Amino acid sequence: MKRMVLVLLGFVLIVGSIGAQGKSERAAQSGPVTLKYAFWGNPDAIGVEQDIIEAFETLHPDIKIEPIVSGYADYHTKIMTMIAGNMAPDVMRIDDYYFFDFIKLGAVESLTPYIERDGIDLDLYPKMGIEEAVVDGQLYGLPWGTAPLYMLLNLDVFERAGIPLPPLDWTIDDFERIVRSFNPKVDNVYGYAIDTNNISIILPAVWAKGGSLLSEDKSQYTGDQSGAVAAIQLIADLYQQGYLPKDSVNAGNTEALRRWFSNNSLAMMSGSAQEILAIQNIEGMRFEAWTMPQAKGSKNTTVFKSNTISIAKASKQKEAAWTFTKFLRGVEGEDLYVRAKRFPPTLNIPENWDLYLEAGRYPKMIKENSELIAAEYGHTLPLRTGYAAIEAKIMPAVQAAMLGKNAQQAMSEIRADIMKIIETNSK
């Protein structure tokens, strides 16, 4: 009996290892190099990424690209698990929220030697996108989808309410006045709604009130100081007084925001390039992409966010991976992304706006407003290691303030926890 069990187990092990060995030997023996390229999206319809892959493979027949796609929600978990399981993708897109964690954990390769060797002109890339990928003088990725988080304005709602559009240099007081101009109890139309899913949504208000959530060097928590508290209290007051939809406090209501906006029940909402793409597909939607409200004397309140394309440190095909990365984030890849309207142009190539824009298609002012935001109104996120953990402390505190807790108390109670996260992640 024991002998039979051992024989069976041995058989299973041998068959399994032959299968695995065979696969890797087949891979080693075949001609083209196969790169694994990981990104988030719809696994059933990868769209422009397929076009990019085909265009690259045509130019480089010796390199095959195998896409690894999953939905955003679990994407970074999947990538981390793949890396831990020695199945790292060669090239991967990383959201900047997590980028510093990936760097700290040694998951990504420095691109600086490749850039210097090949003489890549970094002036082509948005300055803020490059800044977010540099640690200790080394550049760990090339920016992808660097774009502002706009304030989307529903033109029909504004017109019906008889409220003129704000100027681009509008203040937080202008914002409050506009929101309070709507009377949702009467006509179920709100001036603004938020999604308490991430810090990016509340940061513009915090900056507009002269505050911050982390210090300049990101080593101290400042969310319980006057500017930040005033911003959270403003949002809380608007919510308590019925000027924001009740569901604004639900972090799972992103889809609802888009629904209210497209149903003309909402005048303003924060929106990324992806939101713009979704809303553009709704027939008859007239909207603009605007700056965020500012402080008097300080314009930099519009979040300018990026993602990064990096090469995994564990990649065994770094040269091929670099060749693909250069294409993906170079002129050729950018050209395809912009033609597909995946995001507004990010490289400093003014002609790309002609590829992105369509006559008569909203938002019509996106070009001038994006350039203005990049030049004058943009502000990068206070990204650092442990950012997700810090966000997970701050957003429930914001929700508690919206539900009636004093904002000062709500933001002070989390100080010890956040400082602990910062200290742990600074080691």
Partner 1 sequence: MIRAEGRAAFLFLLPNIIGFLIFSLVPTLSSFALSFVNWGLLDKPSFTGLANYRELLSDSIFWLTLKNTALYSFVKVPLNLILSLLLAILLNQRLRGRNFFRAVAFLPSVCSSVAVALIWSPLLESSKNGLINHLLSFFGIDVIPFLVSPLWAMPSVIFVGLWKELGYFMVIFLAGLQGISRSYYEAASIDGANARVAFFNITLPLISPTTFFALTTSLIGSFQIFDLTSVLTKGGPANATNTLVMYIYQNGFQFFRMGYASALSLILFITIFIITLVQNHWADKWVFD
Which residues of this protein are in contact with partner 1, per CB under 8 A?
Answer: 1, 4-5, 8, 12, 74, 76-77, 80-81, 83-84, 101, 104-107, 188, 196-197, 245-253, 255-256, 259-260, 265, 386, 388-389, 392, 395-397, 399-400, 402-403
Q: How far is the CB of 427 from partner 1 (least distance, A)?
A: 10
Q: 422: helix, coil or strand? A: helix
In Å, what is the CA distance from 375 to each residue of 2, 165, 291, 299, 378? Answer: 75, 22, 12, 11, 7
Nearer to partner 1, 42 or 81 (CB): 81
Compare residues 3 and 26 and give the one whose CB is closer to partner 1.
Answer: 3
The CB-of-259 to partner 1 minimum distance in angstroms stands at 8
The b-or-e profile of 327-363 (16+ CB within 10 A means b, else e) is bbbeeebbbbbbebbbbbbbbeeeebbebbbeeeebb
Q: Which is nearer to partner 1, 50 or 188 (CB)?
A: 188
Cβ contact 265:189 at 8 Å: yes
- Residue reference for tokens 């058989």: 11
Q: How far apart are CA 293 and CA 302, in angstroms?
A: 8
Cβ neighbours of 382 (radius 10 Å): 17
Cβ closest to partner 1, residue 189 vs residue 366: 189
Contacts of 43-48 spanning 24+ positions with Cβ under 8 A:
43/69, 43/70, 43/71, 47/340, 47/342, 48/336, 48/337, 48/339, 48/340, 48/342
Nearer Cβ to partner 1, position 126 or 386? 386
Residue 325 CB, nearest approach to partner 1 (Å) = 20
Q: How far is the CB of 261 from partner 1 (least distance, A)?
A: 13
With respect to partner 1, which residue has the nearer C-beta, 130 or 321? 321
- The nearest distance, CB 141 to partner 1, in angstroms, is 16
CB nearer partner 1, residue 7 or residue 331 = 7
CB of 80 to partner 1, least distance (A): 5
Q: Read off the tokens for 80.
A: 């981390």
Considering beta carbons, is residue 130 or 402 the nearer one to partner 1? 402
* Closer residue to partner 1, CB minimum distance, 80 or 161: 80
* Shortest distance in whole angstroms from residue 262 CB to partner 1: 13
Task: Using the minimum distance from each CB to partner 1, give the nearer residue, 228 or 414.
Answer: 414
Q: How far is the CB of 246 from partner 1 (least distance, A)?
A: 4
Least distance in angstroms from the C-beta of 111 to partner 1: 19
d(CA 395, CA 417): 13
What single-letter DSSP state applies at residue 141? Answer: -
Q: Least distance (Å) from partner 1 to the CB of residue 110? A: 16
Q: What are phi and psi of 35, to 5 degrees?
A: -105, 140
* Residue 348 tokens, joined: 């400093």
Rounded CA separation 330/124 (Å): 9
Evaluate whether 34 touches 321 at the Cβ level (below 8 Å): no
Residue (196 or 370) nearer to partner 1, CB? 196
In sequence order, which residues have a C-beta less than 8 Å from that of residue 331 and are 6 or more positions away? 124, 347, 349
Q: Residue 369 in contact with residue 150, Cβ under 8 Å?
A: yes
Alpha-carbon span 260 to 247, nearest angstrom? 11
Report CA 13 to chain centroid distance, whole Å. 43
The amino acid that residue 274 corresponds to is Q
Closest approach, Cβ 170 to partner 1, in A, equals 27
Whole-angstrom distance, CA of residue 381 vs CA of residue 387 = 10
* DSSP letter assigned to residue 301: -
Q: What are phi and psi of 402, to 5 degrees?
A: -65, -30
By the 8 A CB rule, do 295 and 210 touch? yes
